[in-house]
Amino acid sequence: MSSELSYIMIKPDGVQRGLVGEIIARFEKRGFKLVALKLASPTEEHLGKHYADLKDKPFFPKLVKWMASAGPVVCMAWQGKDVVKTGRVMLGATNPLASAPGTIRGDYALDMGRNVCHGSDSVENALKEIALWFPEGLAQYTLAAEPNVYE
Ligand code: DAT
Ligand code: MG
- Ligand 1 probe mutation, 9, 49, 55, 59, most atoms within 8 A of CB: 59
Give the DSSP letter string of the chain: ----EEEEEE-HHHHHTT-HHHHHHHHHHHT-EEEEEEEE---HHHHHHHTGGGTTSTTHHHHHHHHHHS--EEEEEEESTTHHHHHHHHH--SSGGGSPBTBHHHHH--SGGG--EEE-SSHHHHHHHHHHH-TT-------TTHHHH--
What's the mean pLDDT in 101-124?
98
Binning pLDDT at 50, 70 and 90, where does residue 1 land?
Answer: confident
- Ion ligand 2 neighbours, Cβ < 5 Å: 121
By annotation, the residues acting in catalysis are 118
115 contacts 94 by C-beta, under 8 angstroms: yes
Binning pLDDT at 50, 70 and 90, where does residue 97 land?
Answer: very high
What's the mean pLDDT in 15-21?
98
Q: Which atom of ligand 1 sits closest to the CA of residue 53? A: 6
What's the mean pLDDT in 69-82?
98
> Is the per-residue pLDDT at 65 higher than 90?
yes
Share of the chain above pLDDT 90, in %: 99
Whole-number pLDDT of residue 2: 87
Ligand 1 binding pocket, CB closer than 6 Å: 54, 59, 63, 94, 112-113, 115, 118, 121
Whole-number pLDDT of residue 88: 98
What's the mean pLDDT in 43-66?
98
